[in-house]
Amino acid sequence: MSTRVRGKLELELAETAKQALPGGEFGNAVPGIIVREGRGGRVWDESGNEYIDFLLGSGPMLVGHAHPEVVAAAQAQLAKGTTFFADNRHGIELAREIVDAVPCAEKVRFVSTGTEADAYAMRAARAFRKRDKILKFEGGYHGMSDYALISLAPKRPGNFPQGVPDSAGIPASVQNEMLVAPFNDAETAESLIREHHEELAGVIVEPFQRLLPPVAGFLEALRKSTSIYGIPLIFDEVVTGFRFAYGGAQQYFGVTPDLCTLGKVIGGGFPLAAVAGRADIMAHFDRNLVGDEAFLTQIGTLSGNPIAAAAGLATLAILRRPGSYEQLFATGRELMDALGQMLKASGVPAQVIGIAPVFDVVFADGSIRDYRDTLRGNAEMMKRFNLLLRERGILKGHSKYYVSLAHTPQDVQQTIEAWRSAIEELGRAHNANN
């Protein structure tokens, strides 16, 4: 087992962070580590400690850090200029590629973040339906907008369909514009859609919610119910887009929404996201088609940034190569199987959930189908496990192992050995307390 050592520079940077940043950090997933560089499936901190990286920048680095082809594409554009606030060739070509790849995509509008993409998708649904309310699912993550931060992670879940604000600073009126349903409960979702269809602008869902795969028939039921009433169904594919299949989760699960949001992978590690979907809904971004009253204003200084678009195009070219997704899924399955077997043998109450490219462990027994089931997980044990792994050179966020094409057989074996050692330590502590 290796123990992480913090050098003088990292300690100085950490002190500067305390002085300059709220909480001494950016607010993201892994406090206490300052990353210096990444190559392939690994990163190094400012003290030179090396980690196998399953954080992957929270997912964008699907082909690995500093992939030579992605770097070359970005550098080529960098020499020609960084941003123009005007259309550019790379952005246009990337939009065309998304239209060709993603089943629901007839038109594309670029933004810079997944939060923006989700907010604009909900706004587009409101413009199209001329209604206000959005139905989302408890535990579903749709960025950091006021609307998205209703029942993302409520500590005291309310009664459906009443949502609970997850942050200070959210107007009370926003709570009344969001309806909330349990994920993987088709009957409740269909009932709410039927009851509120006259006031619903849209339904937004992660087709794979955080770590929860949809149960058989759930997405199909949403598609059928929204279609009956002409309500736009929005798939938040910021995480799953181009990760589960080249056409995203909608291709993987075989259910096509009316709109989707994309991010992470399509920017190749640079800030880029998009709303994509049916031409008649996306027409609200075009004043000439819908007129002043129905026009949806959307302006962003860096939307469709040429460097991000060039990096995204290079990333997608790599993913299109034969065997890419087979490799990605094979790596993930090997990791999931090994982790599940070791946890089972340890006697620690735990199970591995997710799909090969994105998974994690929940320290609990019983079925895990929705957000409230995840609350049964032992959060302290999870925190301890993640810390033990970091000591052993494995980097991940609070939840999720993101798998990349850059993770090698050596990375897999080293990860398995780290898990074995950490689980043994967890097991000893668990057995001593029971």
146 is a catalytic site residue: no
- Catalytic residue chosen out of the listed positions 236, 370, 373, 411: 236
Which burial class, exposed, middle or buried, applies to 5 when counting CB atoms under 10 A from its CB (0-12, 13-18, 19+)? exposed
- Catalytic residue chosen out of the listed positions 264, 325, 370, 400: 264
Half-sphere exposure of 357 (CA within 13 A, CB side): 29
Sign of CA dihedral 56, 20, 300, 115: positive
- Catalytic residue chosen out of the listed positions 51, 141, 246, 252: 141
400 is a catalytic site residue: no
Residues 6+ apart with CB under 8 A from 234: 121, 122, 125, 202, 203, 204, 205, 257, 258, 259, 260, 261, 277
Residues 6+ apart with CB under 8 A from 335: 359, 401, 403, 412, 415, 416
141 is a catalytic site residue: yes
Catalytically active residues, by annotation:
141, 236, 264
